Amino acid sequence: MATTAAQPATAAATRPFGSAAALSCRECGQRYDLAPRFACEFCFGPLEVAYDFGDISREAIERGPKNIWRYAALLPVPDNVAELPNMNPGLTPLVRADRLAAELGMRALHVKDDSGNPTHSFKDRVVAMAVEAARTFGFRTLSCSSTGNLAGAVGAAAARAGFRSCVFIPAGLEEGKVVMAAVYGGQVVAIDGTYDDVNRFCSELIGDPAGEDWGFVNVNLRPYYAEGSKTLAYEIAEQLGWRLPEQIVIPIASGSQLTKIDKGFRELVALGLVEDRPYKVFGAQATGCSPVARAFEAGHDVIQPVKPDTIAKSLAIGNPADGPYVLDICRRTGGAVAHVDDAAVVDSIALLARTEGVFAETAGGVTTGVLRKLLAEGALDPQAETVVLNTGDGLKTLNAVEAGVTATIKPSLDVFKAAGLV
């Protein structure tokens, strides 16, 4: 099914999308019927899902499945979504990081560890939304442009749901991510270029007859796909005992995750599920791909695209679509956007592993590194309750770290003692 023409929104909600009522332009507010489209015809602004929420209680959520479908009433999915074949991601641990907090001089720190999802990254959340939209719109091929984690999540979700899959990645990705994308039996196509080149190619394919019947989870299904990131906000609030954190540090690739977590917090407040209180949002980038952080430092509202050069490849988007919205949120909440170099990323991966037993991929090293940097600069309050995100498993980015055996010895107790290992 090809992208449909714009139609004014009608009053009735489409039940296959639950409480979702329309698509709304984030720039001019123009509304459209729910369809596989992602940009406003009037101003070219991005579209996002708007809702007519019914009565939603904490008790109803807590009686739900032990995954993201406990929040189905807040998402663009059918009421029976939990009964459909999908990956059932979510409800990952919120680790109370007391040892890391002590090392950093903080009072209360938590790590939201999304490496516990089915394909070991937060991307399972967003892909789960896109799968339901693709099913409703009648697409037969599930696809994406990806820096690695999304490709794996699409491959797995397509296999479970019965779609053909074909994913596009920049050549030169980490080997672990390539293998994980390919093992599910779909096609994996490497493009000789950056992620931004891959994204442009996918946009061209959507507009070509060859792309008919293709659902690109992060392009023509993007409004639905992006809503999956809200579940991080819902889970964090529920796991804190139905309250918002005072500070949160979020990695920035396209910036969509950060904007949707903020949207999720605001929805919980509007629905009366949490107390309305101030929270600060901090964005984290690697120095080798830090266009949003540079704009924040310079006081600019416009993002200047860059060519990425960093080991944090999952964040290597040189022209982040949601960058201006990230700036707005971080400034509105009193937060900031900062960056750390690759050496700090590696050092922070080791710190998180040594203190909390959480082996983060490079994006988790970026958030932990920015946490340390902003604490040292006085931009983060060490006394405020803080959440830092780890969005993927360190096993996917083994080349970024160096670790090995402490010693190689003969199987002898005397040799063990003589080596000074007791």
pLDDT, tens digit (0-9, with 9 covering 90-100), for 349-366:
999 999 999 999 999 999
Question: Same domain for 296 and 318?
Answer: yes
Q: Does 14 have pLDDT greater than 70? A: no
Q: How confident is the model over 73-100, as a mean pLDDT?
A: 97
Question: Same domain for 312 and 258?
Answer: yes
pLDDT of residue 6: 36
Rounded to whole angstroms, how far apart are CA atoms 152 and 178? Answer: 8
In a domain? residue 275: yes
pLDDT tens per residue, range 250-301: 999 999 999 999 999 999 999 999 999 999 999 999 999 999 999 999 999 9
Q: Does 174 have pLDDT greater than 90? A: no
The tally of domains found in the chain comes to 3
Q: Does 13 have pLDDT greater than 70? A: no
Question: Same domain for 102 and 138?
Answer: no
Question: Same domain for 330 and 343?
Answer: yes
Range of the domain at 342: 94-120+224-400
pLDDT of residue 173: 84
pLDDT of residue 185: 95
CATH code for the domain of 229: 3.40.50.1100
Q: Classify each residue of 81-118 as buried b or exposed e, where b means 16 or more C-beta atoms within 10 Å of its C-beta.
A: bbeeebbbbbbbbbbebeebbeebebebbbbbbbbbbb
Question: Same domain for 387 and 263?
Answer: yes
Question: Same domain for 171 and 161?
Answer: yes
Question: Same domain for 218 and 236?
Answer: no
Task: Return the higher-pLDDT residue of 107 and 402.
Answer: 107
Question: Same domain for 109 and 235?
Answer: yes
Q: How confident is the model over 43-69, as a mean pLDDT?
A: 96
Question: Same domain for 233 and 344?
Answer: yes
Rounded to whole angstroms, how far apart are CA atoms 162 and 122? Answer: 21
In a domain? residue 391: yes
Residue 118's nearest CA partner among 78, 71, 154, 81 is 154
Question: Same domain for 351 and 270?
Answer: yes
Catalogue the E-assigned strands of 171-321.
187-191, 214-216, 247-251, 280-286
In a domain? residue 229: yes
pLDDT of residue 262: 98
Which residue, of 179, 201, 222, is where some domain finishes?
222
Which residue, of 196, 222, 248, is where some domain finishes?
222
Return the amino acid letter for 127.
Answer: V
Question: Same domain for 112 and 166?
Answer: no
Rounded to whole angstroms, how far apart are CA atoms 345 and 339? Answer: 10
pTM: 0.93
In a domain? residue 270: yes
